[in-house]
Structures are given as structure tokens and as C-alpha cells.
Amino acid sequence: MIELKTPTEVQEMRPAGAFVASVLSALKEKAAVGVNLLELDELAHKMIRDAGASSCYIDYHPSFGASPFGKVLCTSVNDAVLHGLPFDYVLADGDLLSVDFAAELNGWVTDSALSTIVGTPRPEDLRVIEATEVALKAGIESAVVGNKLGDVSWAIGEVAHQYGYKVNTDFGGHGVGRTMHGDPHIPNDGRAGRGLKIKPGLVVAIEPWFLIATDEIYTDPDGWTLRSTDGSRGAHSEHTIAVTPTGPVILTDRG
């Protein structure tokens, strides 16, 4: 069931959004050649404790997960694109790192993700990151009162196709509020003019993710990390947004 938020509730979600944004900004600054993924997880863990927030991930155990996640953020490197379980890995020059983070503060959850290059970039990696960011912007701009959810999916997919990428629709955007995942599901491709009509108070995480040369993924032996079947790299961008009568508001904006 889709739960629309009141204007007061949207305002109450702003501190959670600002906190998630601050953690991602700190993680992006921390990520460098020689830094261990477990160090990034510990930094996020410390920021959660210091803020009096709660992790949405550490005890998370959906049907597709092998076990409770056990960490507080997702770190996906190179051919991993989603749900990357942090492990004892030291970032190397040229790694493409995607970080996904959700947390609860004052009873409200927000969710966001970014991709960045560690050290020396490859042009093709910069391009796929750019594509997810452009698609995220297009999806957000389509999340206006009177449009349909299919318009958001179409806008994201249209960017992917313009860049020449295939789109996997198994995992995509979702409702956010008191919990991390709720209705509606927002695929990263779709048909314009289809689906539920967008109304004020809708709060969702929009999250395009693309792989350079495929749309097929498999689950790593860790039971969580999703990797491309052909070894090609991927990127992931995400914001939590609230639909208002005057347009979408990005709650996890990093400035």
C-alpha cells in the first residue's frame, strides 16, 4: 500500500535526509587508494552512533538475502553494482566504487547512493556514472503531480538507451518512510503514461543503476553482492525525493 506523507511529515523527514547525505559525502571523501571497505563501513557506523540514528541494513534480511546483512552500508566495486557486502578489500587505483546508504533518524528513513572513481578514472567508467546521474535527474524531474509512475520509469530508461545501455528492471526505486522499502516499486525502464498517478505526499527513492555491457546479474557467493555476468562495470545513483504541489524536493541532496 502506498502511504502518502503530509507536508508536516515531509518536513520531519528532512533531518534524516540531511544525515544520509552527510554520511555519503564523508564516505566519498574518505574513499581513496589504500582504504579498506571495512574502514568505510566503520566510518558510517560511527556517524550513525554519533547522530543517534539507526542502521537500516545491519539486521536487514529479505527473502533474496542469504543472511542478515551485518554491515551498515553497501559498497559495490567494479563489476559489482548493487548490495555489495563490505569485506576485507583495499581499494586500488582505478576502482569504480558505488556506495548505497540508508538510515533511520527520528523515526524516518531516507536512502541514497553514489558512484565514484578511486584514483585514475577510465573514460568508460566516468560515462556510466554520468549516465546514472543524468537518469536520476530525469527521473526526479518526471516525479510531478499529475504524471504517472510510468513517466518516471520511462525518463530513466530513455537516458539509459541514449547512452547505449541495457536496463535491468529487477531492482529499482521504491517507497520510503517509516521503513526502508515500501510501495511503489519504480523500475528503471517503462512506458510513459502508465501506472499510478503521482500525488502530493509521495516519498520515494529513485535509483538508476546501469552496467556498461549487459543487463544480466548474478549473486556473489557472499549471498548479497550483485555482479554483472560478463565482468563489465556498473554505477548506481539514488536520492530520496518528496513530491509536493510545486515539484519534487530532494531530501538527500548533498549540495
Predicted pLDDT of residue 64: 78
pTM for the structure as a whole = 0.97
Structural domains of the chain sorted by starting position, each given as residue range(s) with its CATH number in brackets: 7-250 (3.90.230.10)
Q: Is 161 assigned to a binding site?
A: no
User: Distance between the two ends of the chain, CA-based, in angstroms?
Assistant: 32
Using DSSP, state whether 243 is helix, strand or coil: strand
| Residue 52, all three cell numbers | 543517534
Q: Is 111 assigned to a binding site?
A: yes
Q: Is 238 assigned to a binding site?
A: yes
Q: Is the dihedral of CA 15, 207, 184, 48 positive or negative?
A: negative
Q: Is 79 assigned to a binding site?
A: no
pLDDT single digits (tens) 116-150: 999 999 999 999 999 999 999 999 999 999 999 99
Alpha-carbon distance 233 to 238, whole Å?
A: 17
Q: Is 181 assigned to a binding site?
A: yes
pLDDT single digits (tens) 176-205: 999 999 999 999 999 999 999 999 999 999
Q: Is 158 assigned to a binding site?
A: no
| Residue 12, all three cell numbers | 520531519
